[in-house]
Each structure stands twice: as C-alpha cells, then as structure tokens.
Structure 1
Amino acid sequence: MFVNGSVLTSVQMFIRHGDRTPTSAIEADANVTWDCDGLGSYIYTSVENRVGQENSIKLQNAVARQTIVSPGKSPFSRYNWKGSCSPGQLTPLGAQQHRTLGSILREIYINRWKFLPTEFDPSTLYVRSTDFWRTQQSAESLVTGLYLPQVTEGRPPIFHMEVVPSSVDYMTVNRNLCPKARDLESAIKGGANYQRVHSNSNTLTREVRDIMGRHSNLLDTVLPRLCHKMEPYCEEGKSGRCITPAMSDLVVTKSSLETSILYRDAPQSRQYLRLGMGPLAKEIVDNFVTASQRTTLSRRSSSNVPQFKLYSGHDGTIGPLLGLLESTDLRWPPYASNLIFELWTAPSGERFVRIFQNGNIMQTTTKWCNLEWCPISQFVANMEKYIPQDILDECETEY
C-alpha cells in the first residue's frame, strides 16, 4: 500500500485519441454533416499570447489553419459527407475530451502533488504521437487542459512533439516489418475462440455489411454515427432497411471480444505481444530506470530528463498494453482511454509503481502484482518477459 512521505518521481501516460469522424466515407454519408469548425485544438502557447506592438516576434504568435472545402469542389462529392471535417479527424468533442482529461491531470499533478510546475516548462514534459492528425491534435488538446492558455511576454515557450513515421513506428503492432507477428495474428484469428465470436455474430454482421455496401471496417464506420446520435445508415433506396441500435451494439461487443482474445486470451497472445509491444515495453522500463538513477528522494534531478512523458496513440496502442499488463478489463478501448504509469520513491529509497486504467487502479487476471503499490523489481520482471533481445531477428524467425 501507499507509503506516506513517498515522492512522485516519474509519470508515463498513454492515451487513445479522442472522438473522431469515420476513417472513410461511403455513399450513404452524402447527406450527413461533420463540422470541425470549432475544433480549437491548437498548440496552446500559440493561441492566447498577448505581446506588445513593440515586440519584434509578434508574428510568432500566428496560428496556421487548414480548411476542408468538401463537398463543393469535387465531382466525387456524393462519396463524402458535408461539412468541414476530413475522414479520421478529431472532432470538437474529441478535443474537449482531452482538454477535460488535461484539466483533471492539472488538479492531480500540479495542484495536489506539486509534481509539475504551475506554468509550462518544456523541459518537464515530453510528448510523442503517432503520425496521425487526430493523435497529434489529441496530445495538443490534453496539454491545453493541463496548462491553460498563458500570457507570455517575449518569446513564448516551444511545445515540442516527437512523431515517428508510421512505417517504422512501434506504438502499435508493426505487422509489416515483423512477419512473425503477422503470422501469429493470423493464427490467433484463425483459432477456435476467435472464430466462435465470428460465428455467433455472423448473421447480424452480414446484414450490417449488406446495408453499408459491404464496407470492410464496421467499427470505424458505425461507431462515430452512434456516438453522435446521427440518423442511422440505411441501405441506398431502402429507407426501411437501416442499422439498428442492436446492430451497433453488436459491432462494439464483437470488437471487445476480439480484443481480449487477440491481446490476452489466445495461446499465442504472449508471443504476439512480445513482438508487437516489445520495443514500447523496453522504452517504458528504460524511462523508469533512467528516472530512478537521476532522481533522489530529497531533491528532484536538475537534468533535462522530462518528469512527465505523454504518448498519444490508438486503440491499437492501449489494447496491446492492457494485454501485456494482463488487465481484467480488456474491452475495446473507447475514445480518450488512458493508462498512467507512476513511479514513486519511498522514504526508504525503495521504488514503487502504480498503474491507473481510465482513472482506476488496474486489476490483473493473474495478480502478478498489486498495481496500487508494486515494487519496481516486480514491475520490471513482468515487463522484461516482453522485451526481445533482438527484435529484428525474432521477427524474421519462422513461426
């Protein structure tokens, strides 16, 4: 259990992007409107700065925007919706989800624990995102909530975000560069449990596909409309044949069952996660080891190692991490899902890890550790099971 007098040493947070538009449009979207005019998800240090006319860097406070002009300027407009959102873009609701989450973090890590400074200091915050607009906007929105718009005289602080190209990223399972992971995933999806999920939902999902013109990704297409309480998709020319709430619920339930099998419950899941999440598991461990080496109980390190590390990704980031940690709650991760890893230093000098899943201490199926106060040695031992010695060699090994 938590030891009084302990000092918060390091925090790593993983988020899924917020609410977004469908990742692609189909013909049935032609009369739907998705507006992103009020998104307001810009880097906070560039939005509300106030500098005098005499300041020579005034133009550095300009904000760049891009404008979506669909559907009017394309002859293919019937295959897209109306409004100012592009496919897969964060919506104003998604931005607000993360601004709200950021404000909650402010109460915890700034006001309560005094862990972060009250005003933005780039040296204390590391931000990393996948190479997608919606994940980058989600990270910006969260930081906007964490650090409210500030009046800055002179040169404003720089908000820096690292992005790894998708082709070589490791915040999701990189099936293209790891053939063995791809083979393992195929084996899991071909297994009896995974196929049973398909068989039990086959009739309804086939009907959903028929209504939507056999669009392949039902979750990414159905869920956004469901979340925004829009009119249901109906088969073209047949207004009475539409996707019902029961069908939408089935799509989400089916995805949750598939998520738990793929990332936790299949015989191949452990090996699949080792290859798919190994590099990220290593980064999490290395971050805590570095923080432990450079921080003492009496004084936080003056080095440039950020105290708070934020990673903005996808359901394909959160889901595998939940599986790796053996969470009891491995439903399909909803928008703005988050995992927080905290490293604490007790008065004795011992290190402990706490892990929160969407605001609650994570519970595990095997109870490998009490994640309310887990000795760092046990945490590292569990993570090391998923860290390959040579990821490239293991990825090429025949399955």
Structure 2
Amino acid sequence: MAPTPTTRMATRKARLTSLFLLCLTLSSVSAAPVSTPGEKRAQNVLFYEDRKAYSYCEADHPTVDTYPDPPVEGATLSNVQLFIRHGDRTSHSFYPVDHEVTYECSPQINSNYFITPTNSDTYNNASLITTHVVTIPQDSPFAKSIWRGSCIPGQLTPKGAEQQERMGRDLRRIYVDKLGFLPEVFDQDKFFVRSTDIWRTRQSATSLMTGLYPTNSSNSPSPTLRLTTLPIELDYLFFNEQDQCPRIRQLKSHIARSNPTLRHLYTHIPAPILAASQIIDYPNTLSIDEVLDFVSPRVCHDHPQPCIKEAKGGGGNEEKCVDGKAVMEAMAELRSTESAAMLRDDKRSFELLKVGVLYNNRIVVTKSNWCDLSWCPVQTFLEHLDKFLPGEDYLEKCKEQPKR
C-alpha cells in the first residue's frame, strides 16, 4: 500500500492535485490530547531518506501507541484530514508469464443500490444488494494470456480491503476511544469522504470506514456512507495533463530537463529494473512504471518472479530471472533521490492554530528552512501550499507556456 499521510489542521477547503483518496473530517468538536507515559512515538525522519516510508506492499500508519501528542501542553484538536491511497491491488496489465500465478478477488464487497422514491411509487425505499463476482474460465482460448483466479487488472484485492479496514480500526482507537474527537456512532454530518471514481479507491474508502465504524451485530442497521466523486475528466485528484491541462506535461518535462539529478534519473535506468524489463515481456523492453506495476504485486503476494532461458555462446541455455527484491530496492532509491532533488532546491520562507503532518506514521522533517511539520503554524502551512496551487485562474494557468 502506498504512503498514508495524516494532517492535523484547521478546517479549510484546499485544491489538491493527487491520485490519492481524500477523507476529511469537518467536525468542529475539540478534545484535549491525552498523554500516556511510556508510549512509543512517531519518529522524526526526513521522509525521502527513510526507505521504509516507501513500503509499497503496506505503508505504516498511525496507531494509538505511536500517535504523537502535540509538543505544547493544552492544545486541542480542531480538524483532521486523512489522505490515503488505495490498498493492495493487482497489476494494470497482463503478460504471457502471468498465467503461472493466481489472484483471487471474488466475491467482492456487497454494494447497495437504492431506488429514489417518488409520490407515484408503489414501493418506497426499495433497494438491491449486489455481490460482484469476476470469473476467468480456464477453458477459454484466451485464458493463457491472463493470470488465473478471479481478479481483473488494477482491482483491489481482499488483502487490500483488509489493510484499509485495519487502518480504520486503528484510527477509531485514536480519534474515538483515546481523544473522543469523533462520535462513537457514525454521523454522516461529521464527515466528508471524497474518492476518485475508480473501483479500487471507492472500495478502499468504504473498507476504511467499515473499520472506523463497524456494526455491532448482524441485527444492527448498516450506516449509509455518502461517498463523493467527480467525473475523471473534471477531477482535480488526477493530473488531467492530456486534455484539461496540457501545461502540466510541459512543466514535468521542464523540471526533468532543468534538474541535473532528475535528468540523470530519467535517462539512466538502474540495472535490476533494466534486466527485469527485458525478461517480463521478452523480447520487448518495458518502461520503469511497467516493471514496477508487474513486479510489485508479485512481491506483495509472494508469487514467484518470471524467468527466461537464453542461448549461450558455445551451446546450452542460461536462465535469467527477475530479482524482485533488487527491483523494489532500486525503486526506493529512485524515489528517495527524486524527492530529495525536487525538495532540496525549494527555498521555503515561511497563530494559534498549528499543523502536524504524519507520513506513513512518521513526522515529516524538512531540510530547507520553511517550517517544522511536527508543529507548524497553520497560516504558514497554507501560505506555503498556495505557492503551488493555481488559484481561481487555473484555466488561464493551464494555457501558459513554461519559461525557458
């Protein structure tokens, strides 16, 4: 599972560009933090120097034992924003070597479909409960081009749903049981839950909320969760660089060319990734993203990595296999270097409301002198974000050409 940042801050509607699910609590209830002697605390680390922060299979998240108290006595919690990515998923693409592994996803989480009643309806509040089942018949002539089991590409796995539900349970122990910040019984008015309109992210959101507010028994009515999405074409959680804002693509290219470190990263592929790219879809060569998309689910599910046999000079064959561990370590190194290169050059100069940021249950520490993210003034935090947000004239900004 990808990084899970938690931000404690004052209520504010922010314009955020990300692929992550956004879950905001809008409650104005405040509760004094409770300190327990001897508790483990979230570590202060430079997030781009800690490779554990890049645990793809399952990122760390806050627990009641590690959740840090504010460094100032008497502070009260005003607002919580939780930003997560979806849980464990299958690969986005198939390759011939995939037929040797199995991914099981069915039956999936039940979905409730409600019929909106009108004055002329004979039946009011009619509903239908469905269970989504994916089947991959092995007698199909195309079955060997896909893995075995019951998962489609990019689908949330049962492991991914359980990851999110477990995080929800841990968040309940923090914000309901320990701090009393959230009500014991689900109240829709206390939440704003936002997701990208992708199956795995919607399921991740509902799985997390199931852990945060589980039903007490089979006889208890399930709460109705209001999950907000936008059409992909309008959603600001996506880059939309192809149609809505071509300038994003131009800026990404400009950044890659202007920074020597990034330029080196984009033109020199690490040896383990290059070797894997030549094995997975032999004799074709895959991109870095395609290699990671293939290797990561296999690593997370303990599936074997593929091998090929190549003819050796003088006769005989040589077997070459994908080294999943080496690929994941190379990706962690790439991400660490990329983040450091992009953040180090940014000179950030920058009360009563303060912000604390946890990234994979670690307090974010910045090298440049702009703010301490374990305890940052909210106005400083928001002013810094505004430097990177396009503002109300974002349509005009999208048309601008980057300066040469």
Superposed pair shares fold, TM > 0.5: yes
For 2:367 and 2:110, how far apart are their aligned partners in 1? 40
For 1:233 and 1:190, how far apart are their aligned partners in 2? 35
Equivalent residue of 1:127, what SS? strand
User: Pick from 181, 184, 194: which aligns with 2:262?
Assistant: 194
In the other structure, the counterpart of 2:353 is 351
The range that moved more, 228-237 or 78-87, is 228-237
Equivalent residue of 1:13, what SS? strand
**Residue identity opposite 1:163 in structure 2:** T
Query: How many residue pairs end up in the alignment?
Result: 310
1:71–1:81 contact (8 Å) kept in structure 2: no
Give % identity: 33
For 1:202 and 1:154, how far apart are their aligned partners in 2? 54
1:207 aligns with 2:275: yes
In the other structure, the counterpart of 1:21 is 90
1:200 deviation in Å? Answer: 4.7
1:235 aligns with 2:308: yes
2:168–2:208 contact (8 Å) kept in structure 1: yes
Q: Which has the higher contact order (CA 8 A, sep 6+)?
A: 1
2:349–2:369 contact (8 Å) kept in structure 1: no
For 1:206 and 1:325, how far apart are their aligned partners in 2? 40
1:248 deviation in Å? Answer: 2.1
1:102 aligns with 2:168: yes
1:291-315: per-residue Cα shift (whole Å, max 9, x none)? Answer: xxxxxxxxxxxxxxxxxxxxxxxxx
Equivalent residue of 1:63, what SS? strand
1:197–1:257 contact (8 Å) kept in structure 2: no
For 1:75 and 1:121, how far apart are their aligned partners in 2? 50
In the other structure, the counterpart of 1:130 is 196
2:106–2:132 contact (8 Å) kept in structure 1: no
In the other structure, the counterpart of 2:248 is 181
**Residue identity opposite 1:94 in structure 2:** G
Structure-to-structure mapping, 1:1-399, within 5 angstroms: 2-37=71-106, 41-42=109-110, 60=127, 63-72=129-138, 74-151=140-217, 156-176=222-242, 177-191=244-258, 192-198=260-266, 200-213=268-281, 214-216=285-287, 217-235=290-308, 240-253=319-332, 255-257=334-336, 259-260=338-339, 264=343, 350-389=352-391, 390-399=393-402
For 2:181 and 2:368, how far apart are their aligned partners in 1? 32
For 1:365 and 1:9, how far apart are their aligned partners in 2? 27
For 1:232 and 1:152, how far apart are their aligned partners in 2? 42
1:6 deviation in Å? Answer: 2.9
Q: 1:195 to 1:388 in 2, by over 3 A?
A: closer
Equivalent residue of 2:133, what SS? coil
Gaps of 5+ in 1: 47-55, 271-323, 327-348
Equivalent residue of 1:144, what SS? helix
For 1:392 and 1:261, how far apart are their aligned partners in 2? 30
2:161–2:203 contact (8 Å) kept in structure 1: yes
1:190 deviation in Å? Answer: 3.7
**Residue identity opposite 1:88 in structure 2:** G
For 1:193 and 1:85, how far apart are their aligned partners in 2? 39
2:272–2:323 contact (8 Å) kept in structure 1: no
1:11 deviation in Å? Answer: 0.9
2:261–2:338 contact (8 Å) kept in structure 1: no
1:21–1:91 contact (8 Å) kept in structure 2: yes
Q: 1:34 to 1:360 in 2, by over 3 A?
A: same
For 1:381 and 1:258, how far apart are their aligned partners in 2? 26
Equivalent residue of 2:384, what SS? helix
1:121 deviation in Å? Answer: 1.0
Q: 1:204 to 1:370 in 2, by over 3 A?
A: closer
1:361 deviation in Å? Answer: 2.1
The range that moved more, 16-25 or 368-377, is 368-377
1:172 deviation in Å? Answer: 3.3
1:174 deviation in Å? Answer: 2.6
Query: If the length of structure 2 is used for normalisation, what is the TM-score?
Result: 0.68
**Residue identity opposite 2:343 in structure 1:** R
1:44-83: per-residue Cα shift (whole Å, max 9, x none)? Answer: x99xxxxxxxxx99974x6311111114374322211110
1:358 deviation in Å? Answer: 1.6
For 2:192 and 2:177, how far apart are their aligned partners in 1? 20
For 1:194 and 1:243, how far apart are their aligned partners in 2? 26
Query: If the length of structure 1 is used for normalisation, what is the TM-score?
Result: 0.69
More helix by share: 1
Q: 1:370 to 1:167 in 2, by over 3 A?
A: same
